[in-house]
Amino acid sequence: MSDTALLIENVDKFYGPKGHGVHAVKNLSMNVRKGEIIALLGSSGCGKTSTLRMIAGFEPVSDGTISLAGRQVHLLPPVKRNVAMAFEGYSLYPPLTVRENIAFALKAKRLSQAEVDEKVAYIAKLLEIEDILGRYPSSISGGQQQRASLGRALIRDADLHLLDEPMGQLEPQLRALLRGRIKHYIKERGLTAILVTHDQTEANALADRIAVMEGGVLQQFDTPQKIKERPANLFTGTFVGEPPMNVFEASISGGNGSLSFGLNEGVKLDYQIAAFSPGVQAELTKRRKVVLGIRPYSVRRSADGVKARVAVNQWLGDQTHIAADFAGGTMVLVEHDRTRLAIGEDIGIHLDPSSLHVFDSETGRAISHGKELA
């Protein structure tokens, strides 16, 4: 017994004739461990839905193999793959009540009525749908339908649970609570789950590892922490994280033990060259143009920092978002306290070398994160 639940190897997906059709998924390889929650994250058209459909069996692979719990499944029909799925469009059976919809997933297991009732009651309580169990899908709200559909998928024992945009329609007041409960439920039972989403907040909240896709190519497959701290390229860096990463074009100059990033409007960020590791020094000094990325929460205010002018100061109850005019662009800062700054006030921006993400200006590939090479 290996601990690999799902193994995707060199999978390609073409729509239309090879060569001049659409190459939706490009040479995708992924390894999902048993008990892991994985998020497939990307904007529409990035290939995440095609990938999901190939794993579920609704779409044949054009090339490559998919193995589930140690057996190759990519040629099997969906019903033989032992995969549970929650559909984006809910796909509840209209003539069945919510209770029957959820219990339907247990049909194949020939459980006693008491066991079925108990399981349904448990999952219904978890998803806050106890009082609508007797209703029909057409008479409940979108958020309730989504929860019912989630219940139908989660109640099953399967080698893999596929959740397609599982929380997009959930009532905002329930979202944080249900995220916690669902994560706990999946972890407690050791289920393996893949959720497909365009919402990086969802992916960060639930996933152990996030697979960021764009243009059919897997951009990065790593823990949320790593993706936040060490994004592989500019796309991942700006796609994951809210508020999004601040991005500035910079030209590099140096000498005399210092290293400077020149931004627009003559703004210069000066650092001791020793603040960077030798590898980073070598990479940076041989380039002229780079792209600088700074996470909003790692921007500090200090009196002797680079001048910026407050343009917007928004308090959201538990965070303050500040946007300041900086180097011909906008620098966004996030602070966890209530910060009161007047519009038009001058502030000093301090960017610690450890908070700098440097990207290649041509390819967008990460060069360095803080002191270290990418």
Partner 1 sequence: MESTSTPERILRGIALTLVILFFMFPIFWIFMMSFQTNETILQIPPSLSFTPTLSNYMALITGKLTTAAGTLDIAFMGNLGNSVFLSTASVAVSLLLGVPAAYAFARHKFRGSEDIAFTLLSFRFAPPLLVLLPLTQYFQWLGLSDTYIGLIWVYQLICLPLILWIVRGYFEDISADVEYAYRIAGHSWFATFRKIALPLAGPGIAAAGLLAFIFAWNNFVFALVLASASKQPVTVGALAFVTSSGIQYGQIAAAIVLSIAPTLALALYAQRYLVEGLSLGAVKG
Partner 2 sequence: MTTLQLQNITKRYKSQAVLDDLTLDVADGETLVLFGPSGAGKTVLLRLIAGVIEPDAGKIVIGGEDMTEVDAEHRGIGMAFQNFALFPHMNAFDNIASPLEANRSSAAGIREGVEKVAKLLKIDHVLSHRPKALSNGQKQRTALARALAGSPPVLLLDDPLRNVDAKLRFEMRLELPRLLAKQGATVIYVTQDYKEAMALGDRIAVMSQGRIRQIGTPEDIYNTPADIDIARLFGDPTINLLTVIPKKDASGVYVELSNVRVPLPSMPESVVGKECVLGLRPETIVFTEPSAQGAIPVTVEAETPLNEKTVTLLLTARGREILLSRPAGTPGPSSGPAAIAVNGAAAFLFDKESGARIATPATTTNRNGEAA
Residues that bind partner 1 (CB under 8 A): 14-17, 21-22
Sign for the CA dihedral angle at 330, 318, 229, 235 comes to negative
Dihedral over alpha carbons 294, 239, 217, 182 (to 10 degrees): 120
Region near partner 2 per CB under 8 A, out of 71-79, 95-103, 156-164, 312-320: 312-320
138 binds, among partner 1, partner 2, none (CB under 5 to 8 A by kind): none
Of residues 19 and 94, the one with the C-beta less far from partner 1: 19
Looking at 275, 334, 341, 373, which residue binds partner 2 (CB under 8 A)?
Answer: 334
Dihedral over alpha carbons 130, 135, 136, 141 (to 10 degrees): -70
Looking at 58, 115, 117, 177, which residue binds partner 2 (CB under 8 A)?
Answer: 177
Identity of residue 283:
E
301 binds, among partner 1, partner 2, none (CB under 5 to 8 A by kind): none
Cα–Cα distances in Å, from 138 out to 89, 93, 94, 125?
13, 10, 7, 21
DSSP secondary structure of 192-222: -EEEEES-HHHHHHH-SEEEEEETTEEEEEE
Interaction of residue 43 with partner 2, rule CB under 8 A: yes
Smallest gap, in angstroms, from Cβ of residue 126 to partner 2?
11
Interaction of residue 237 with partner 2, rule CB under 8 A: no
d(CA 180, CA 231): 26
Dihedral over alpha carbons 136, 139, 143, 149 (to 10 degrees): 20
Of residues 55 and 332, the one with the C-beta less far from partner 2: 332
Interaction of residue 206 with partner 2, rule CB under 8 A: yes
Region near partner 2 per CB under 8 A, out of 28-36, 110-118, 200-208, 366-374: 200-208
d(CA 3, CA 252): 47
Looking at 7, 96, 217, 311, which residue binds partner 2 (CB under 8 A)?
Answer: 311
Binding site for partner 2 (CB under 8 A): 43, 172-177, 179-181, 183-184, 187, 198-201, 204-206, 224, 238-239, 241-244, 296-297, 311-312, 314-319, 321, 323, 330, 332, 334, 336, 338, 343
